[in-house]
A and B are shown apart, each in its own frame.
Chain A
Amino acid sequence: MLSQALLLIGVGLMAGILGALLGLGGGIIITPVLTLMMGLPIQYAIAASIIAVIATSSGATIAYLKDEMLNLRVAMFLEIATTVGAVLGAVLTGLIDGQFLYFLFGALLLFSVYNMIRKMLMKPENIKAPTPDPAAEKLKLNGAYFDKAQGKEVNYQVTNVPGGFAMMFGAGLASGLLGIGSGAFKVLAMDTIMKMPLKPSTATSNLMMGVTAAASATVYFFNGSLRPEIAAPLAVGILVGATLGTRLMQIMPTKVLRLIFIPVIGYMGLQMLLKGFGVSI
């Protein structure tokens, strides 16, 4: 029993670091470890992954609030979209073809990867400055954060608020219907659509995903899918890992962060797309 607990704490540690860094839930690490390595039935693995999302979110948020990395107003405003999407998604389960959705969301992730790579290869002077959005001004969404890697404060504007809101609704729908992408779509909504810098985008995604996951977690908690001997050591590892991840993210240059983000999102997109074709990897 001790060796299993230690293994789970270790897995949690890794998932917590990666999750806090990239604003993801860590399901990408946890689900395969639990199902493939430990042979756990999928519903137990999903239940444990949901707890992992909450542990990552709350663990990372403490540090990101203190260091003012995240954008609280962006999070609150967009949480309306994610929570409504998640509730609707949960209600619609069974009415919508899951396979088609996997295909759609997978394609969306891969398209984002293509866009990000293209943008990275562009010369900086060719990248258009975001056009100020009056809605962002009205909702006080524009923000600032201190970048430890650059040693200076970075002010930023938020643009295309309706687009980001729509994408967040999709993110909520995806997590409600399929239990996936709790973080990836949120980061993309802020980073790619609303043109927020990557660091506040991942930090804000960390804050938001806990709320979306809390509702799903109650389902698994009360229907008995949440196994305490699996979820508890995982949660402990994640809380420690997420704390480490928040330290790491702040000193890491944004470019390095993006170089980690792109392949992870690419892998997730590919996995979903294949699932859309009925292939599991």
Chain B
Amino acid sequence: MDNEVKKETQDIELIIGQILRIGVIIAAAVIVLGLALLLITGQSGYPAGVHPSKPGAILQGVIAFKPYAVLMLGLFLLILTPVLRVVVSIYAFIKEKDHLYAWITTIVLVILVIAMVIGYLG
């Protein structure tokens, strides 16, 4: 592997790694907060067997500090971490002037977003 590619790769991996770490820490912190609320209060904030699964309901629950809503927010942030990773990769490849991989990664992002929209509607 030639040294130029290697140096470029190291820089790209460093950027992606740092931002992904921040994303994961935020998601984990929200989940831990939700778990702590759930275990301390002993209440989910919702009737038995019910949890919020639509954006509006989750948001309202988070504002009211309901444990299940906070947990769902944390889980949603966790689901977004791979997306974050792809987005940051595009930025990193552009920054290192690796246009081929900036394109490849953009294609991946487009397919991923389409798949997620299908998932949301489905």
Contact = CB atoms under 8 A, between A and B. Distances in A.
Interface of A: 1-2, 5, 51, 54-55, 57-59, 61-62, 65-66, 68, 72-73, 76-77, 79-80, 83-84, 86-87, 90, 139-140, 142-144, 155, 207, 210-211, 213-219, 221-224, 226-229, 231-233, 235-236, 239
30 contacts: A1-B38, A1-B42, A58-B81, A61-B17, A61-B20, A62-B17, A62-B20, A62-B21, A65-B14, A65-B20, A77-B101, A79-B108, A86-B115, A90-B119, A139-B100, A142-B1, A143-B9, A215-B112, A219-B122, A221-B79, A222-B120, A223-B122, A226-B72, A227-B51, A228-B34, A229-B51, A229-B68, A235-B28, A239-B24, A239-B28
A228 B86 CA distance: 26
A110 to B, nearest CB: 30
Contact of B79 (A61, A79, A214, A229): A214
Nearest to B32: A236
Interface string B79-100: 1111101100100000000001
B82 A57 contact: yes
Q: Which residue among A210, A217, A227, A228 has the maximum number of chain B CB atoms within 10 Å of its CB?
A: A228
Contacts of B105: 76
B79 A54 contact: yes
Contacts of A84: 111
Contacts of A83: 108, 111-112, 115
Given A57-B82, A222-B54, A87 B10 contact: no
Contacts of A59: 24
A55 B78 contact: yes
Nearest to A157: B1
B24 A62 contact: yes
B58 to A, nearest CB: 10
Nearest to B9: A72
Contacts, number: 166
Interface of B: 1, 5-6, 9-10, 12-14, 16-17, 20-21, 23-24, 28, 31-32, 34-35, 38-39, 42, 44, 51, 53-54, 68, 71-72, 74-76, 78-83, 85-86, 89, 100-101, 104-105, 107-108, 111-112, 114-116, 118-120, 122
A54 B21 contact: no
A168 B115 CA distance: 17
A210 B82 contact: yes
Contact of A235 (B31, B44, B85, B107): B31
Contacts of B38: 1, 229
B53 A223 contact: yes
